[in-house]
Chains A and B, each alone.
Chain A
Amino acid sequence: MAKGDPGVTRGGRRAAPRSRKGATGDPELVQLLTPEGERIDSVTGPDGTEYRVDFTDEEYRGLYRDLVLVRKLDAEATALQRQGELGIWASLLGQEAAQVGSGRALRTQDMAFPTYREHGVLYCRGIDPIMPLGLFRGVDQGGWDPNEFKFNMYTIVIGAQTLHATGYAMGVAMDGKTGTDDGEAVIAYFGDGATSQGDVNESFVWAGVFNAPLVFFCQNNQYAISEPLERQTRIPLYQRAAGFGFPGVRVDGNDVLATYAVTRQALDNARHGQGPSLIEAYTYRMGAHTTSDDPTRYRIASEVEAWQAKDPIARMKAFLEKQQIADADFFADVDEQAKRESVHLRERVLAMPNPEPTTLFDHVYPNGSPLLDEQREQFSKYLESFEGSAH
């Protein structure tokens, strides 16, 4: 999906556009679409950057389609886990706008380093949405090609990937691939809990020192499993960037337009050689951390309801309806497509075969190992010994 650049606007086409500093009730939050679906024409961030977007109607509709599809596929995966088809699932429910907004802001040449919840970004990178389900089903450990799709493997160890992103971004700079409009940029995804990790702080140090073309994209979904944000920090997370010598901005992570604008701007700054930045996408995980925990033990219902009112899809739908960008047929079509794709996903997941037993020995070492080859051979003989027997 082609997108217009932030910073260029036709302005004032539909809603009564407004410019303002910060967003409703929170001067720290960059917002371009209110929970009620009102468009804000441009917003000035805390560092003075002006954020705006300019999309065609088709592009607005495309973003809405992304949000709905991603939510539906995620819901299907959750259902599959409940039916025993996946070992576990890390749902993105509530974080669709943060992921689609940032994912669509990436250019083809940009590289993303995800954690394990970035199914929406993965979708935006053009990767078959079945891919993460193989990981959570246990038939593989993530089957996509990170180099082909410019989307690295999921990383379970919290924050480890931020260092990989930093090194990769250093390589981009060393390759001379920054400083132009078609330069490359890198994005590292992590959560609020990860900001407590040493690796994330080391990556902040390194990215700053080496002026790496890197955007740190923190989805602050308010909880690290059961631990609330207050257990990770005593200042707003985006403000940490200043201590490492690069800009930080907090964006309404339930606002796909603002997330897109802020991410695109940060990526463009990086690709032009202006170094790293930190985006804190302020959002909320509506479900559990994974299907293994019970959020009712650590969250109160009123908090969840308050965030429900900020739902990223509802506000986009309200906007499209108010501005008459989309009609009932369009919404029905999107719902139908989401249903079709989720049914298709389900069928394919159920058909996923277990890997052949001997494949567990594959790809341990690029150049192999005699001792491992010996073990594989013994294991193969052991398996063959059952042939024709009662086992």
Chain B
Amino acid sequence: MATETLTLGKALNVGLRKALENDPKVVIMGEDVGKLGGVFRITDGLQKDFGDQRVIDTPLAESGIIGTAIGLAIRGYRPVCEIQFDGFVYPAYDQIVSQVAKMHYRSRGKLRIPMVIRIPFGGGIGAVEHHSESPEAYFAHTAGLKVVSCSNPQDAYAMIQQAIASDDPIVFLEPKRRYWEKGPVEVDAPLGDAYPLHAARVARPGTDATLLAYGPMVRTCLDAATAAAEDGRELEVIDLRTLSPLDLGVVYESVRRTGRAVVVHEAPSNVGLGAEIAARITEECFYSLESPVLRVTGYDTPYPAARVEEEYLPDLDRVLDAVDRTFGW
């Protein structure tokens, strides 16, 4: 099996290329996705090789990108839309939650909208405002949408292809601060065998407490687990991968075993995914818990100016501090 070392961004690029090759109905559309290859170069070279009818540079209109993709989907295409940055998805919010999410339901299954909405999300790259947000809870709250996030090159490569092949409309969140991190990718591995699209995975096994994360925070949690191991604590790290629906079986199994859970995400804590996960763990694993489920999150503020974003974002120290608190209960 061929294994290559790729950045997460390149792994997405290779995955998109495979999807374009495998299905002539797949079209990529968005602002600057063509000649420029996207502002993060995720679609680099694709228009050159597949033409401007498969990789479509669009007008600068997010609602238009999603709305026209719906029409293309009704026509039988499989659009993969790129929203340039997380904070720019809101002009398309109506089309996503009112149309994309509901058309299959409203039509009693007669219309399928097999669409992928790619959004580079989260902070940590020193960007100006509206370029570092974590809108996942808005979408995870909406029935009819599925929401996933990759955290490493292998998953990026596999999950983008699985998402495109799925008939479910999928919001695909890419951890932009991890675009440049490298890792091994099995470029000819069969998709869906090792992990189906909607399956959490144990990123690092452990026995003493469970860290739950997705996207950019998986790396942070793995680093925290490495540091904790030096102090003699074995932390299990679970990469949720799927935010809607949550794959809770893996989570419950882990928490029942470790008795302690810390949910980590960049998004604000208020009504965030951490609250949902903590509530579910409490309902299902109450008698196994040694301490309350804790959350380490961004603060309940707008995403701050870049020079203070390191204070805002959960880091290794804040995660370890929360772990200490779960043991101090």
Contact = CB atoms under 8 A, between A and B. Distances in A.
A167 B110 contact: no
A367 B72 CA distance: 20
Given A163-B95, A170-B71, A171-B75, A203 B64 contact: yes
B109 interface: yes
Contact of B64 (A147, A169, A205): A205
Contacts of A372: 143, 245
Contacts of B70: 163-164, 167
B71 A363 contact: no
The secondary-structure label for the interface of chain A is helix
Given A202-B59, A203-B64, A363 B72 contact: no
A327 B63 CA distance: 53
Interface string A363-380: 111110111100000000
Contacts of A163: 63-64, 66-68, 70-71, 95
A168 interface: yes
Given A146-B111, A371-B246, A209 B74 contact: no
Interface in B110-149: 110-112, 114, 143-144, 146
Interface in B68-99: 68-77, 79, 91, 94-95, 98-99
A331 interface: no
B105 interface: yes
Contacts of A153: 103, 106-107, 111
B74 A146 contact: yes
Interface string B39-62: 000000000000001000011010
A174 interface: yes
A366 B64 contact: no
Given A163-B71, A205-B64, A371-B245, A364 B143 contact: yes
A354 to B, nearest CB: 15
A261 B28 CA distance: 38
Contacts of A351: none
A314 interface: no
B64 A363 contact: no
A102 interface: no
Given A168-B75, A202-B67, A363 B98 contact: no
A152 interface: yes
A15 B291 CA distance: 90
Interface in A87-142: 113, 140-142
B234 interface: no
A294 interface: no
A198 B67 CA distance: 11
Interface hub of B68, B71, B103 (most chain A Cβ within 10 A): B71
A227 interface: no
B166 interface: yes
Q: How large is the interface on B (under 10, 10 to 19, 20 to 34, 35 or more residues)?
A: 35 or more
Interface in A353-391: 362-367, 369-372
A363 B105 contact: yes
B307 interface: no
A202 B63 contact: yes
A169 B71 contact: yes
B75 A145 contact: no
A199 interface: yes
B246 A168 contact: no
Given A167-B72, A366-B167, A140 B64 contact: no
Interface hub of A142, A205, A206 (most chain B Cβ within 10 A): A206
A163 B79 CA distance: 14
B104 interface: yes
B174 interface: no
Contacts of A367: 166-168
B258 to A, nearest CB: 23
A335 B109 CA distance: 38
B105 A206 contact: no
A2 B261 CA distance: 70
A153 to B, nearest CB: 6
A198 B108 CA distance: 28
A303 B94 CA distance: 36
Nearest to A373: B245
Given A167-B67, A171-B75, A160 B59 contact: no
A312 B98 CA distance: 35
A221 interface: no
A366 B53 contact: no
Contacts of B107: 141-142, 145-146, 153, 363
28 contacts: A142-B107, A143-B108, A146-B107, A146-B110, A157-B98, A157-B99, A160-B98, A162-B67, A163-B63, A167-B68, A167-B70, A167-B75, A171-B75, A199-B95, A202-B59, A203-B67, A203-B68, A205-B64, A209-B59, A362-B108, A363-B104, A363-B105, A363-B107, A364-B144, A366-B109, A366-B112, A369-B245, A372-B245
Interface of A: 113, 140-143, 145-147, 152-153, 155, 157, 160, 162-172, 174-175, 198-199, 202-203, 205-206, 209, 362-367, 369-372
Shortest beta-carbon contacts, A-B, top 7: A167-B71, A163-B67, A171-B75, A167-B68, A168-B71, A202-B64, A366-B167
Interface of B: 27, 53, 58-59, 61, 63-64, 66-77, 79, 91, 94-95, 98-99, 103-112, 114, 143-144, 146, 166-168, 198, 245-248
Given A145-B110, A163-B67, A198-B91, 16 more contacts: A140-B108, A141-B107, A142-B106, A146-B74, A146-B110, A160-B99, A163-B64, A166-B67, A168-B75, A199-B63, A203-B68, A363-B107, A364-B144, A367-B168, A369-B245, A370-B198
